[in-house]
Amino acid sequence: MALEKLASDCREGPCPTLWRTEDGRYIIQGFKVLDAERLAQLKLPENETAVEVTAELLEEYFNASRG
């Protein structure tokens, strides 16, 4: 299944990135949330994880989608 790159924080290398799948879902590549207190607040089920991205990544996508 091919991924479409929608927005990225940098021009080279692996960076926080927003992707869209062929079936209309989104994948966010970001920094692993490792802080135990934050993870406890999220109450994630065993089959989920959390990543952190910059505001700039989301702003880039939302600004581009409005234009």
Per-residue pLDDT tens digits of the chain, which is 67 residues long:
799 999 998 777 778 999 999 999 999 999 999 999 999 999 999 999 999 998 999 998 888 877 6
CA angle 59, 34, 20 (to 5 degrees): 40
Q: Could you give the CA distance from residue 67 to residue 44 in angstroms, rounded to a whole number? A: 35
Give yes or no for a contact between 7 and 63, defined as CB atoms under 8 angstroms apart: no
Look up the domain containing 7 and give its range: 3-66
C-alpha 3, offset from chain centre: 13
- The pLDDT of residue 17 is 93
Instruction: Supply the pTM of this predicted model.
Output: 0.78
Q: At 34, which helix (H) or strand (E)? A: none
* Exposure on the CB side of residue 47, measured as CA atoms within 13 A: 0
Count how many domains the chain has: 1
